[in-house]
Amino acid sequence: MLEATPLGDGWILRHETAALPAVVPGCVHTDLLAAGVIPDPFLGRNETEVAWVGRRDWTYERDLRAAADGAEQTDLVFEGLDTVAEVLLDGRLLGRVRNMHRSHRFDVTGLSGRLSVRFVSAYAEAEAVRGKLGERPAAYAEPFPYIRKMACSFGWDWGPTLVTAGIWRPVRLEHWSTARIARVRPLVTVEPGLGRLELVVDIERTRVEAPLTVEATVGGVRARASVDGTEGVVRLDVPSPRLWWPRGYGEQALYDVELTLLHGDEPLDVWRRRIGFRSVELDRSPDAHGTGFTVVVNGERLFARGVNWIPDDVFPSRVTRARYRARLGQAADAGVDLVRVWGGGIYESEDFYDACDELGLLVWQDFPFACAAYPEEQPLRGEVEAEARENVVRLMPHPSLVLWNGNNENLWGFRDWDWEPRLAGESWGEGYYLGVMPRVVAELDPTRPYTAGSPWSGSWDRHPNDPAHGTHHSWEVWNRDDYTRYRDEVPRFMAEFGWQAPPAHATLRRALPDEVLAPDSPGMLHHQKAEDGNGKLRRGLERHFAFPEGDFDRWHYLTQVNQARAVAAGIEHWRSHWPVCAGTVLWQLNDCWPVTSWAAIDGDGREKPLYHELRRLYADRLLTLQVREQELVLAAVNQGAGAWEAAVRLRRMSVEGDVLGEVSVPMAAERRAVGLVGVPEELAPVGPKEFLVADVGELRALYFPAPDREIPYPRPEFEVDLVPGGVRVTALTLVRDLLLQADRLAPGARADRGLVTLLPGEQVTIGVRGWETPVLETAHSALYCVEPSR
C-alpha cells in the first residue's frame, strides 16, 4: 500500500554563510521575518527595505533518507516550488523546475543524503527569458509575463512588490510497489432521476505484467473495472441523488468517493475525494440584446452575485484552511454566490475549493494570465500546458467549480492598449486562450464550460469588451467618470467594476503606527498603489461632497461612503435589468495586505461599509428606485424561490422631514424575476430639497435627485444610548448614511451593519461584538454621518 511521509520538518534556509530555521510550507520572506532579519514589509514603507530579497538566490536544505522496507519505488513529491530551482541530493541533480503552479515528482528509490533545493531569483529567470524571447507589452514594468509564477508577487495596483521564493506547498516521500494512482478524472453528469460518475484512472507501474483492477464506491453504489495498461475506467450510477446547489437555491449535497487500486485482493493505493451531482451550462445564445452570458445550474438560470478573489496574502503559504473558511464565510454572509479566482494569482489550495463546496459558492477559475502579452515559445509553452493539465484534473472533483476562463484582460489589451503594433507579429498568448486551454478543458473536463477570457465578446468580429456580448469590464467609470455613469449601459455580464476606499481606521493605525494620518502622508501614499489613486478618489468625492480639507477622519468616512454608493449605483441598476444582465462580479472581495483599494474586506480582515452594503445589494430581495426613459420606477428584484407580492409605501419628503405626498401601491415580482412599479408623477421629488422613500416591510429604497453637495441638509441631530450588545441611535432629524466605525471602539470590535439612513423619529440598534468595556462617549466619537456642505 502506498505510504506517504511528510517532510515539513528539519529544513534550514541558507544564503551565503547564514543558516536559518525554515518552515515548510513557507517562503524566504516569512523565514527571514521569523528570524528577525527583515522588518514586517506590511508596516510603514518597509516594503522597499526588503526589495533585495527577491533579487537573491536561496537554498533550502535538510537530511533525507528515502529507503523504505519492502517498497519498490520511492518518490520525492513537491506540491509546489516557487519558482525556479535545482533539486539535488548529495550534489546529484534530481531535476530542474520553473513553474510555481504545478507539482514535481522525483525518483529517489534507495537514495539518502543531503537534500538541497537551490532557488534562483525569479527576477533573474524572468529577465533571462525576456532577453531570449523579446519584450512584450504589459500593464506594469515588472517582468511577470516571462515566468510561471503568481503575477501579483511583482506588485499590482493594490499589492506590494514582494517577489517570493520557497517551498510554498507541502513536500513528502511516497513509498509504493507494483503500481500507484497517478491521477483520477471524475466526470459527473446528471440525468432525470440519475447521477452518473465516471472515474478515469491513470496508473503508473513498476511491473508491467501485473493484472490490476480499480474499485470505487459512491452513495452506496460500488463498481469495479480492470486496468488496461495504464488506464482504468469505473462507471457508477446513483439513483435519485441529492443535487448540489449554489447557496440560496438548495442544499450543498456532497458525496464521498473512494477508489482503490488493487493487485488481486491486495490494495495498492487509494484516492478519496468529495463530489457533488449537479449540471452546469453557460448560455451564450444570441438574442435581441446581443449575446448572453448566463450561468445555468441544474436547469436554473442564475443572476450571479459575484466577487473577484485575489490571493488573501502576498505570502500564500500563510493562508490556512481556517482563514479560507473565514474569508469565504464572509462572502457567503454578504449574499455572494460566485467567486472569481482572478488570473494574476494562483490556482488556490484544496482548502479554498472545499470551503466553496460546503458554502455553496460557485467558482469561476481563471487560468493564471493577467494584463500582459505572454510569449508562447519555449520554455513557457510546455510549462503552460503541463500546469493546465494538472490543475484541471486536480480541481475537477469540486462541484463548486463551474467555469474555466482563459485569462484576465489580455484579449482586450491586444485590441485596445496599443499592443498589436508593438508586438509586430510576435506571440502574445492568443494561442493559449483560443488553442491550448480550450483543448485541454475539452479533453480532460468536458462537463464544464470554458470561455477564452474576461472580458470577451466571443468573437474577434466584435470588440472584446463590447457590453452587448459576453463579459464586460467597466473601468472608465472609476478612472474618468462619475459613478452615476454605471447606469448608462446594461452589459450582458459585468465581470469587473469597482471603486476605491481606504481600509478601516484600526488597520491603518496598525500599518502606519507612527504616522500622522493624512490622505497624502508618506505611508498613506505608499499604501496606495493605483496610478493617481488619490486623485481619482478626490475627483470622485468632489462630484458629490465638499472635499474635507485637513480633516482626515472626515475624508476617511466620506471615501468609504462614496465606495458603497458607487457599487450600489451599479449593482442596483444591473440587477434591475435581469435577465438581460445576468451577473455582477465586484472588484474585489479581499486584500493581500493593508492598502487603499477596491476591496470590501481590508487586508486585516475588517469589513468596510461596502461589505455591509453588499449584504443589501446581494440579498434575494432588493428594492431600488431607477430612472427609466426619464420616468421614475420602483424595481422589485426577486431572486427568491417564491413570488413576491406586497404593498409599497411611497413617500415624497423634504430634507427637513416633512411628508409632501404619500401613497400605497401594489407590487409583484415572480420568482427569479424583476417587477416594475411606476412612481406616480406627483410623488417624484423636485429639486435638491426633496427625496423619495419606498418601503416594503424591512426593505427600503431611497432616491435623491441631487448630489449631496447641493442638498441643504439640516445639521444632523440624534441621541445615542448603550444597550446590551450594541448601540442604539434615535434620529431627531434626517440622518443620512450613519456609520458606526466599530474598530474605533476597540481594534477587535465588529459592527453588524454599515451605512443606514434614518428619517426623523426612526431608531436603529447597531450590534457590536468585541467591545469589552462600552463607554457612551466613545460610541459618540465613533459615529459618523453626512453633514451639510460647508
**Segment 767-790, tens digit of pLDDT:** 999 999 999 999 999 999 999 986
Whole-number pLDDT of residue 789: 81
Handedness of CA 52, 57, 60, 61 (dihedral sign): negative
Strand-pair category, 304-309 with 300-301 = unpaired
Statement: 622-709 belongs to CATH 2.60.40.10: yes
- Per-residue pLDDT tens digits for 540-561: 999 999 999 999 999 999 999 9
Residue type, 102: R
Cβ atoms of 516 and 494 closer than 8 Å: no
For residues 634 and 643, what is the distance between their CA atoms, to the nearest angstrom?
17
**Cell numbers found for residue 463:** 470588440
* CA distances (Å), origin 35, targets 23, 167, 318, 637: 11, 17, 16, 54
Q: Whose grid coordinates read 525556479?
A: 84
Query: Residue 554 contacts by C-beta under 8 Å, 6 or more apart in sequence?
Result: 548, 784
Residue type, 539: R
Q: What is the mean pLDDT of the chain?
A: 97
Position 66 pLDDT exceeds 90: no
Whole-number pLDDT of residue 790: 62
Residue type, 3: E
Strand-pair category, 450-451 with 401-405 = parallel
Whole-number pLDDT of residue 16: 78
Whole-number pLDDT of residue 17: 78
Cβ atoms of 113 and 64 closer than 8 Å: yes
- Per-residue pLDDT tens digits for 157-215: 999 999 999 999 999 999 999 999 999 999 999 999 999 999 999 999 999 889 999 99
- Per-residue pLDDT tens digits for 382-437: 999 999 999 999 999 999 999 999 999 999 999 999 999 999 999 999 999 999 99
Q: Count Cβ atoms below 10 Å from residue 424 Cβ, excluding itself.
A: 7
Cβ atoms of 87 and 116 closer than 8 Å: yes
Instruction: Please provide the DSSP assignment of 118-173 as one string.
Output: EEEPHHHHHHHHHHHH----BSSSS-GGGSBS-GGGB--SSS-B----B--S-EEE
Q: Is 288 exposed, middle or buried (0-12, 13-18, 19+ CB in 10 A)?
A: exposed
Position 305 pLDDT exceeds 80: yes
Same fold, 178-275 and 291-612: no
How would residue 15 be classed by pLDDT, with cut points 50, 70 and 90? confident
Cβ atoms of 667 and 646 closer than 8 Å: yes
How would residue 32 be classed by pLDDT, with cut points 50, 70 and 90? very high
Cβ atoms of 244 and 277 closer than 8 Å: yes
* CA distances (Å), origin 121, targets 91, 147, 749: 20, 11, 41
Alpha-carbon torsion, ordered 667, 669, 674, 676, to 10 deg: -20
Strand-pair category, 338-341 with 362-366 = parallel
- Per-residue pLDDT tens digits for 261-276: 999 999 999 999 999 9
Whole-number pLDDT of residue 69: 74
For residues 788 and 765, what is the distance between their CA atoms, to the nearest angstrom?
24
- Select the CATH number that applies to the domain covering 291-612 from these four: 3.40.50.620, 3.90.1150.10, 3.20.20.80, 2.60.40.10: 3.20.20.80
Catalytic residue chosen out of the listed positions 376, 383, 387, 409: 409
* CA distances (Å), origin 93, targets 49, 90, 100, 106: 34, 9, 19, 10
Q: Whose grid coordinates read 448614511?
A: 737
- Sheet harboring 294-297: ordered strands across? 280-283, 294-297, 300-301
Inter-helix orientation angle 609-617/552-575, to 10°: 20
What kind of architecture, by CATH, is found in domain 3-173? Answer: Sandwich (2.60)
**Cell numbers found for residue 553:** 477622519
For residues 251 and 22, what is the distance between their CA atoms, to the nearest angstrom?
43
Handedness of CA 743, 749, 750, 756 (dihedral sign): negative
Query: Residue 668 contacts by C-beta under 8 Å, 6 or more apart in sequence?
Result: 636, 643, 644, 645, 675
- Using DSSP's 3-state secondary structure scheme, residue 435 falls into helix
Cβ atoms of 588 and 158 closer than 8 Å: yes
Residue type, 448: R
Phi, psi of 646 (to 5 degrees): -165, 170
Statement: 178-275 belongs to CATH 1.10.10.1100: no
Position 536 pLDDT exceeds 80: yes
Cis peptide bond prior to 375, omega within 30° of 0: no
Q: Whose grid coordinates read 441638509?
A: 713
Q: Whose grid coordinates read 470622485?
A: 540
> What is the rounded average pLDDT of the residues 208-227?
96
Phi, psi of 217 (to 5 degrees): -135, 145
For residues 236 and 221, what is the distance between their CA atoms, to the nearest angstrom?
7
**Cell numbers found for residue 22:** 525554515
How would residue 295 be classed by pLDDT, with cut points 50, 70 and 90? very high
End-to-end CA distance of the chain: 76
| Spans of all domains in the chain | 3-173, 178-275, 291-612, 622-709, 718-784
409 catalytic per annotation = yes
Q: Whose grid coordinates read 502574445?
A: 428
Query: What are the E-state strand segments in 343-465?
Result: 362-366, 401-405, 450-451
* CA distances (Å), origin 598, targets 159, 567, 639: 11, 10, 26
Q: Count Cβ atoms below 10 Å from residue 598 Cβ, excluding itself.
A: 25
- Per-residue pLDDT tens digits for 135-147: 999 999 999 999 9
Q: Count Cβ atoms below 10 Å from residue 681 Cβ, excluding itself.
A: 8
